Amino acid sequence: MEENKIVELSSKERPLLLDCGKSLGPVKIAYTTYGNLNEQKSNAILICHALTGDQYVASQHPITKKEGWWSNVVGPNKSIDTNKFFVICPNIIGGCMGSTGPKEINPLTQKEFGLDFPVITISDMVKAQKLLIDYLSIEKLFCVTGGSMGGMLVLEWLSKFPEFVHSAIPIATSVNHSAQNIALNELARQSIMADPNWQSGNYYETDNQPTKGLSVARMAAHISYLSKESLHQKFGRNLQDKNELDYSFKADFQIESYLRHQGISFVDRFDANSYLYITRAMDYFDITANSNGSLIEAFKNTKSKVLCISFTSDWLYPTSENKKIVKTLNALGIDVSFLEIETENGHDSFLLDEPEFFDALNGFISSTWREL
């Protein structure tokens, strides 16, 4: 069974307290569920989406009409089997698919928040997710999983709410952002803010959206999700629908045409201000921030069984970053497994057709479920 809902989880009187010192209330969370919660409420799996993902993990997207971003993983008899498990995927706060974010209405002004929306963190996102889990009367999640930014959310769950997580699968992620990743996100943010139509974030009531800036931001980010090898295999220096160069600034090469398409198609489903806020949250993320810079301290209360997965060609969140997590959990005596999958598909590998990845998810989830 599949359900799409939006629920209000905090109020003006009891707001969500944010890391920036401000509060947010009421807070709405849009989420999708698949399968059925068992009588013991022990079969819930929380899926945390990445930067440009949303709650439509295995559903047709209402705007693009494309299949869900993890439809190859979530569903009946798939790696995350909805015949067995109750799958929950919420849109993060700060997002743009129904959860409270900059494009939603500010109750104080009755207009869109825009840049009046408070700066949020990965921790704030997880605190909001915890409100949803409490609302669903689930006392302990069987598993929390996600890739990229979703993996950061998984790590935050392990650190902040360890007693609520039986098992976890962080995928292609990191305990904090490198200078390179912060630089890439700043490039994206500056491209949005340089668009005249951005209007300091106050574009919602106008006919002109900052689509050019957001499109360039998406193009820059998409390059980081791929690898040199995958780009070469897919495109090389092949020309786009022509046999010779135009000697112009049109899209001569297939890779140029591909990136432009990625940028143009993205602006139909994503909000520019949300992109600013979410990338900022990723840059601010540091799992050791409240533990004196110590990874051991950050995960000292973790009791979950963990599988950490990385990909050989992922230069955005390389294997070395994922191994930091594994070594720390090992040092704490946590039941942790590690798998590095050899692939040329880059960071996006966790979204693509990677049979070894599917088998690893299925094997870990099935064996952990049998142990309950």
Give the model confidence (pLDDT) of 330-350 as tens digits. Answer: 999 999 999 999 999 999 999
Judgement on whether residues 82 and 138 belong to the same structural domain of the protein = yes
CA nearest neighbour of 160 among 130, 181, 196: 130
Cα(2)–Cα(148) distance, integer angstroms: 25
Instruction: Tell me: do 138 and 191 sit in the same domain.
Output: no
Average pLDDT in the chain: 96
Same-domain pairing of 19 and 69: yes
Cite the DSSP H helix spans in the chain.
122-135, 149-160, 179-193, 211-225, 228-234, 254-266, 272-284, 295-298, 319-331, 355-371
Is the domain of 11 the same as that of 86?
yes
Predicted pLDDT at 124: 98
Using 50, 70 and 90 to split pLDDT, how confident is the model at 242? confident
Task: State residue 24's pLDDT score.
Answer: 95
pLDDT of residue 12: 75
User: Of the residues 256, 279, 302, which one is the last residue of a structural domain?
Assistant: 279
Residues 201 and 249 in one domain: yes
Whether 13 shows a pLDDT value over 80: the answer reads no
Global confidence as pTM: 0.97
14 and 140 fall within a common domain: yes
Q: Are residues 192 and 89 in the same domain?
A: no
Please count the structural domains in the chain: 2
Residue 256, pLDDT score = 94
State both tokens at 198.
Answer: 């951005």
**pLDDT reported for residue 71:** 98
pLDDT-above-90 percentage for the chain: 96
Identify the CATH number of the domain in which residue 329 sits: 3.40.50.1820
- Is 232 designated active site? no
Alpha-carbon span 90 to 257, nearest angstrom? 33
Considering the chain, what percentage of its residues have pLDDT values greater than 70? 100
Domain boundary among 279, 311, 342: 279
Mean pLDDT of 215-228: 96
**Nearest to 61, CA basis, from 105, 97, 111:** 97
Q: What confidence score (pLDDT) does residue 110 get?
A: 94
Residue 299 has pLDDT above 90, yes or no: yes
**Is 271 tagged catalytic?**
no
* Res 272 pLDDT > 80: yes
List Cβ neighbours of 224 (8 Å cut-off, separation of 6 or more): 184, 315, 316, 347
- Please check whether residues 37 and 158 belong to one and the same domain: yes
Secondary structure letter of residue 15 according to DSSP: P
Using the 3D structure, point to which of 253, 279, 305 is the last residue of a domain.
279
Closest alpha carbon to 80 in 132, 45, 30: 45
166 as an active site residue: the answer is no
CATH number at residue 213: 1.10.1740.110
Q: Which of 49, 166, 177, 347 is catalytic?
A: 347
Q: Which domain covers residue 206, as residue numbers?
A: 181-279
Q: Are residues 101 and 195 in the same domain?
A: no
pLDDT for 11:
79
Marked catalytic residue, from 79, 314, 348, 349: 314
Q: Mention every residue, 6+ apart, whose C-beta is less than 8 A from residue 233.
A: 344
Q: Does residue 229 carry a pLDDT above 80?
A: yes
Confidence of residue 241 (pLDDT cuts 50, 70, 90): confident
Together in a domain, 295 and 260:
no
Question: In terms of domains, do 94 and 146 share one?
Answer: yes
Q: Residue 254: its pLDDT value, please?
A: 95
Identified catalytic residue from 59, 99, 123, 148: 148
Let me know whether 36 and 124 are in one domain: yes
Burial of 350 (0-12, 13-18, 19+ CB in 10 A): buried
